[in-house]
Structure 1
Amino acid sequence: MATLSVNIPSGTATKDIQEVNVSHEDQTNINKFARGSLRLNELAEEIKEKEKELQNLEEAGDELMLADDDEPAVLKVGEVFMQFPNEEVQESVEEAKTALKEGVDKLRESRVEIKKTLAALKVQLYAKFGDNINLEDESDS
């Protein structure tokens, strides 16, 4: 069992150094919390990117509705731009929007699950370490 000595500043005054025993299980939980917190931030970024992509698709769909039905629309397939009938491109955009919305929903569900896990770990770690540990993330505020 390792011993952790921490010096905790409180404003301008400093509390005495406290000895805290950190078991292997505690360290595992701290590491699990850190990984979960990192993953939570990664998911937030991923959601932002997908929501921006969704917004772009919605704008493209709006433009397609305004376009002349007789003229072919240009669709990027891989690295190549190809012309397709306007109707086909509209269907393709709608399918992409649906898939993207489902993906965003799954990412949000993952975030909720991770938040639940982190909340349980916070309770457990604060119960043992009290003020000797800071598990607050700047992005929480």
Structure 2
Amino acid sequence: MQMLPEGQKNTVQVTYDDQLKINEFSKLILQKDDVDKNLTQEKTEKEYLDDILLEIELLDEDEYMNYKIGESFLLMKQKKIVKQLNKDLTKIESKIETLENKNSDIMEKLQNLKTALYVKFGNNINLER
């Protein structure tokens, strides 16, 4: 079975190091997909927290409200809930920053591998999704 167009022959030999680079590229793609998924979830959670924080800040500071922690609800004053939401927001922003840094590191590694593999294999390899 021939994968190249008729008349073209593959003259490039795949070495062990080349195969390791191809495998690393594949692993990085999977990691990037996972990071992208987590990043999307964290950004959505941040949007929810921003929205609820705006709504709760409009209420009276001495008003009591239910605040969900894990699987239980606590009756807390509005100002204490605002403090807790700000702490949660800070944590999520930190997670987002970490995920974005990890994503950029992965993208840099992918670009380096892609360049090295295309230099060796040219049109004989397809690294696009």
* Residue in structure 2 matched with residue 50 of structure 1 by the alignment: 42
Q: Is the Cα contact below 8 Å between 1:7 and 1:18 reproduced in 2?
A: no
Q: Does residue 83 of structure 1 match 2:79?
A: no
For the aligned residues, what is the CA RMSD? 1.6
Unaligned runs of 5+ in 2: none
Residue 73 of structure 2 aligns to which amino acid in structure 1?
A: F
Residue 29 of structure 1 aligns to which amino acid in structure 2?
A: K
Residue 114 of structure 2 aligns to which amino acid in structure 1?
A: K
Q: Does residue 8 of structure 1 match 2:4?
A: yes
Length-normalised TM-score, structure 1: 0.85
Q: CA deviation at 1:60?
A: 1.0
Between structures 1 and 2, the one with greater strand share: 1
Identity among equivalent positions (%) equals: 28
Q: Does residue 104 of structure 1 match 2:100?
A: no
Q: CA deviation at 1:23?
A: 1.1
Unaligned runs of 5+ in 1: none
Alpha-carbon distance between aligned partners in 1 of 2:52 and 2:79, rounded to the nearest angstrom: 13
Q: Does residue 23 of structure 1 match 2:19?
A: no
Q: Is the Cα contact below 8 Å between 2:56 and 2:78 reproduced in 1?
A: yes
Deviations 1:35-85 (A, max 9, x none): 111111211111111000000001110111112222212111111111111
Secondary structure in 2 matching 1:107: helix
What count of residue pairs does the alignment treat as equivalent?
129
Question: Following TM superposition, where does structure 1 have runs of at least 4 consecutive aligned residues deviating by more than 6 angstroms?
Answer: none
Secondary structure in 1 matching 2:51: helix
Deviations 1:84-106 (A, max 9, x none): 11111100000110110111011
Q: Is the Cα contact below 8 Å between 1:7 and 1:15 reproduced in 2?
A: no
Higher RCO (CA < 8 A, seq sep 6+): 2
1:130 pairs with one of 119, 122, 125: 122
* Residue in structure 2 matched with residue 40 of structure 1 by the alignment: 32
Alpha-carbon distance between aligned partners in 1 of 2:104 and 2:51, rounded to the nearest angstrom: 29
